[in-house]
């Protein structure tokens, strides 16, 4: 056995070892990436976007805007109260409705309805919206996010989706893009 | 004593760390660096140690579950002996750490310590600042109350504005479609494992660089840093006029660290822990979310930026700022170190301090937020009602009922979102008042649809009475000429 042969054989074993670890690393990387990115892959889960009841239509008198809450359809045991979500229901004329997300279209703070001045006001940076959800004043660049709704068996249903954010309103259509109510 | 010496030697025969440690402690530093200006780095390290210890203590009882975290904090505050104190130490330690890190950074900048050959020390330091800010934000989330919940909403809203990747970033940040259990647990992992791990590694690197390259000498006006000669000059300086770091310089570090620790203990004992505030129930909307002190400037900035400028400033501003900080030693690595010969550096610090200070001050007072209960909680000042007609008083009633008071102050009470109205009659004529009320504009909603003609008439009649005693209300001069 010559002295030059040994290092090269060792070299091959080192390369083999690196290759082996590389294969193992790749095999580990796939599930790790799937795990880390699971919030993005979850759309396939059933019930992610779902129609949720806000209760009977009778709770929302014509011409008024009322507070309503529902439970997010996708819940994990550790969610606690955060699974609850609030929204504003406006009964326009007894037949047509508007359901607004609670989140201000500026930075997501909870807007409050003032029935006396017919305005939604945001406590964070002072965004204000008219009763139909359109922007009245302040930093928001758009109107309130609006849920799609339907009336089924005397109950008001809305289609839930991601928490709406300015860059990702999701299924919650903007007022400007809103299609005529389907109900 | 002999036994201790024997045991010590037994360990050192095996570890062989005694000599290098002694050499490191006694390494010569330039005489003038034994200064009270050079104590902030070691103080930051001391507070970091306190944060690690108190953080581990809190983790023993904290429950990173959206359904349990808030209750766990109440248990810590009220049921565990000294639980409130450990929380207070951790909270105040966080504020002190950020403050000391910022002071350290300003000192390093003004003393030119980022220049050759200490560029990498500065760059690692900038990354450490980012991590410290990251710890402050994730820590605020772990105090899982209303502020944390809606603060996450604000964070998600900002992240959503990133072009193309926005929606995906929001989902990754929240760990799902909404702020819920998965959100808190991932912030827990960040706050307790990921960022502290990085912090420890980078603090180690930062310290190693300080030891390898030597502490920055006291900057003398006219002593110019040149790549070709600096290392030899510094070596000569420490040889000629150096003193051993231990004990000649270290005693000031030790005393200042002790002073800082005592200050944290005093704040914690006297002022107590931070929160938690209201329970994190998203259906309780009677809340005015507010960030922690070190993010108030951002909160204020978000209110004052014009809507169209917000997204570009939010997304490009931090990237540019970070790039400038990271690249600073690369394009200003040589030259004058002394702040006495670097007026732009001094002005930059002053400008940054005034800007951040003013925005933070505004963030504490939030003059842009409507006072949500002013319409029902702040009465119209008496002097604005005395001797008024029935119509004018009815107008005052409309002013309250339509929530005008939420945004407009009278006699210093009420919202500051819109202008104070104590002298509005001097500034606007009757017609201008009517137009403003009905059509809004200038950041005021239009009230045309929400006021009956009678209400508008009464409201404007009331507004016309709002002028100082000696000053006549504004009038349209042309009107008098046309309609005699």
Smallest Cα distance from B467 to chain A, Å? 25
Q: What is the pLDDT of residues B249-298, one digit of tens each?
A: 899 999 999 999 999 999 999 999 998 999 999 999 988 888 888 899 98
B134 interfaces chain A, CB cutoff of 8 Å: no
Whether residue B333 is found in the same domain as residue B411: no
Is the pLDDT at B229 greater than 90? The verdict is yes
Determine the structural domain holding residue B444 and report its residue range. Answer: 374-482
Among the candidates B340, B365, B390, a domain finishes at: B365
Q: What angle do CA B49, B53, B54 make, to 5 degrees?
A: 115
A138: nearest CA in chain B? B443
Whether B10 is in a domain gets the answer no
Whether residue B354 is found in the same domain as residue B408: no
CB-CB contact of A139 with A126 (8 Å): yes
A79: nearest CA in chain B? B181
CB within 8 Å: A72 and B150: no
Whether residue B404 is found in the same domain as residue B472: yes
Alpha-carbon span A124 to B366, nearest angstrom: 8
- Residues linked to residue B131 through DSSP beta bridges, in sequence order: none
Whether residue B312 is found in the same domain as residue B378: no
Give residue B353's pLDDT: 95
Whether residue B383 is found in the same domain as residue B348: no
Whether residue B416 is found in the same domain as residue B352: no
Alpha-carbon span A28 to A155, nearest angstrom: 49
Whether residue B215 is found in the same domain as residue B300: yes
Alpha-carbon span B44 to B203, nearest angstrom: 10
Closest CA to B381 of B466, B448, B271: B466
Smallest Cα distance from B166 to chain A, Å? 6
Whether residue B318 is found in the same domain as residue B394: no
**CB contacts, 8 Å: B159 with chain A:** 165, 167
Give residue B328's pLDDT: 95
Give residue B449's pLDDT: 82
Provide the terminal-to-terminal Cα distance of chain A, rounded to the nearest Å: 88
DSSP E strand stretches across B148-238: 224-225
Alpha-carbon span B122 to B110, nearest angstrom: 13
Using CA atoms, how far residue B376 sits from A114, B415, B457, in Å, is 12, 12, 22
Among the candidates B365, B399, B426, a domain finishes at: B365
Smallest Cα distance from B254 to chain A, Å? 43
Alpha-carbon span B207 to B216, nearest angstrom: 13
Whether residue B393 is found in the same domain as residue B313: no
pLDDT tens, residue order, chain A (183 aa): 455 556 688 889 999 999 999 999 999 999 999 999 988 886 556 566 789 999 999 999 999 999 999 998 888 888 999 999 999 999 999 889 999 999 999 999 999 999 888 889 998 888 889 999 998 888 888 899 999 999 998 899 998 888 888 887 665 654 444 444 443
Whether B8 is in a domain gets the answer no
Smallest Cα distance from B353 to chain A, Å? 23
Report which listed range, A144-158, B198-212, B359-373, B458-472, is most confident: B198-212
Give residue A181's pLDDT: 42
Mean pLDDT in residue range B108-119 = 95
Best mutation target, B170, B287, B419, B449, to test chain A (most A CBs within 10 A): B170
Best mutation target, A73, A100, A168, to test chain B (most B CBs within 10 A): A168
CATH number for the domain that contains residue B278: 1.20.810.10
Whether residue B440 is found in the same domain as residue B326: no
Q: Domains of chain A: which residue ranges?
A: 5-36, 47-159
Alpha-carbon span B75 to B77, nearest angstrom: 5
pTM: 0.89
CATH number for the domain that contains residue B384: 1.10.760.10
CB-CB contact of A74 with A118 (8 Å): no
Instruction: Give the sign of the dihedral formed by CA B65, CA B70, CA B74, CA B77.
Output: positive
The architecture (CATH level 2) of A47-159 comes to 3-layer Sandwich (2.102)
- Report the number of distinct structural domains present in chain B: 2
Whether residue B353 is found in the same domain as residue B445: no
Full DSSP string of B397-431:
HHHHHTTGGGTS-BTTBS--SS---TTHHHHS-HH
Torsion over CA of B84, B89, B90 and B91, rounded to 10 degrees?
Answer: 80
Whether residue B378 is found in the same domain as residue B297: no
Alpha-carbon span B484 to B472, nearest angstrom: 19
CB-CB contact of B387 with B423 (8 Å): no
Give me the long-range contacts of B286-289 (CB less than 8 A, separation at least 24). B286/A112, B286/B372, B287/A110, B287/A123, B287/B146, B287/B150, B288/A123, B288/A124, B288/B366, B288/B369, B288/B372, B289/A109, B289/A123, B289/A124, B289/B146, B289/B147, B289/B149, B289/B150, B289/B151, B289/B154
Among the candidates B346, B365, B384, a domain finishes at: B365
Q: What is the pLDDT of residues B390-426, one digit of tens each?
A: 999 999 999 999 999 999 999 988 888 889 999 999 9
Alpha-carbon span A93 to A98, nearest angstrom: 10
Neighbours of A174 (CB within 10 A): 16
Whether B17 is in a domain gets the answer no
């Amino acid at each position: 056995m010559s002295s030059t042969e040994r290092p090269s054989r060792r070299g091959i074993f080192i390369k083999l070892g690196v290759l082996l670890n590389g294969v193992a690393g790749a095999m580990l990387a796939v599930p790790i990436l799937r795990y880390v990115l699971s919030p993005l892959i979850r759309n396939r889960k059933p019930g992610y976007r779902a129609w949720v009841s806000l209760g009977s239509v009778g709770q929302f008198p014509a011409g008024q805007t009322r507070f309503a809450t529902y439970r997010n359809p996708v819940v994990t045991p550790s969610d606690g109260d955060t699974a609850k979500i609030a929204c504003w229901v406006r009964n326009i004329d007894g037949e047509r409705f508007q359901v607004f997300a609670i989140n201000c279209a500026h930075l997501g703070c909870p807007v409050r309805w003032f029935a006396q001045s017919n305005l939604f006001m945001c406590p964070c940076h002072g965004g204000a919206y008219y009763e139909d959800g359109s922007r009245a004043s302040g930093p928001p660049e758009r109107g309130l996010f609006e849920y799609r709704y339907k009336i089924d068996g005397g109950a008001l249903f809305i289609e839930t989706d991601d928490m709406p954010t300015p860059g990702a309103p999701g299924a919650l259509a903007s007022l400007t893009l809103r299609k005529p109510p389907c109900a | 004593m002999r036994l201790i010496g024997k045991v010590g030697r037994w360990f050192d025969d095996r570890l062989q760390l005694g000599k290098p440690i002694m050499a490191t402690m006694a390494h010569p530093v330039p005489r003038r660096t034994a200064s009270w200006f050079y104590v902030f780095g070691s103080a930051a390290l001391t507070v970091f140690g306190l944060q690690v210890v108190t953080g581990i203590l809190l983790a023993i009882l904290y429950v990173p579950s959206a359904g349990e975290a808030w209750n766990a904090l109440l248990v810590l505050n009220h049921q565990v002996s000294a639980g409130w104190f450990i929380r207070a130490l951790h909270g105040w330690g966080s504020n002190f750490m950020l403050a000391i890190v910022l002071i350290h950074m300003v000192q390093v900048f003004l003393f030119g310590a980022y220049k050759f050959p200490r560029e990498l020390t500065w760059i690692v330091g900038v990354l450490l600042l980012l991590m410290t800010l990251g710890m402050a934000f994730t820590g605020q989330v772990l105090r899982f109350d209303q502020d944390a919940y809606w603060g996450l909403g604000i964070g998600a809203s900002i992240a959503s504005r990133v072009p193309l990747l926005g929606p995906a970033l929001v989902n990754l940040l929240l760990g799902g479609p909404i702020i819920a259990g998965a959100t808190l647990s991932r912030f827990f992992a960040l706050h307790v494992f990921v960022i502290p791990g990085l912090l420890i590694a980078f603090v180690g690197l930062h310290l190693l660089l300080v030891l390898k390259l030597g502490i920055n000498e006291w900057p003398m006006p006219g002593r110019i840093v040149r790549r070709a000669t600096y290392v030899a000059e510094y070596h000569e300086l420490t040889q000629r006029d150096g003193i051993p770091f231990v004990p000649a310089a270290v005693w000031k570090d030790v005393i200042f660290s002790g002073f800082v620790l005592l200050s944290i203990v005093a704040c914690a004992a006297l002022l107590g822990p931070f929160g938690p505030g209201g329970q994190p129930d998203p259906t309780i909307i009677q809340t005015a979310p507010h960030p922690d002190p070190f993010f108030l400037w951002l909160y204020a900035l978000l209110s004052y930026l014009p809507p169209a400028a917000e997204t570009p400033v939010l997304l490009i501003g931090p990237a540019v700022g970070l790039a400038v900080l990271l690249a600073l030693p690369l394009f200003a690595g040589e030259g004058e170190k002394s702040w006495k010969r670097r007026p732009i550096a001094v002005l930059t610090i002053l400008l940054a301090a005034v800007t951040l200070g003013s925005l933070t001050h505004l963030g504490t007072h939030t003059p842009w937020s409507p006072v949500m209960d002013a319409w029902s909680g702040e009465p119209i000042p008496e002097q604005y009602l005395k001797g008024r007609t029935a119509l004018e008083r009815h107008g005052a009633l409309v002013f309250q009922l339509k929530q005008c008071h939420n945004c407009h102050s009278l006699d210093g009470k009420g919202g500051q979102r819109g202008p104070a109205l104590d002298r509005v009659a001097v500034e606007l004529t009757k017609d201008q008042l009517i137009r403003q009320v009905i059509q809004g504009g200038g950041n005021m909603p239009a009230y045309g649809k929400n006021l009956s003609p009678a209400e508008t008439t009464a409201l404007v009649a009331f507004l016309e009475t709002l002028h100082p005693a000696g000053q006549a209300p504004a009038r349209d001069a042309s009107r008098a000429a046309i309609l005699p």
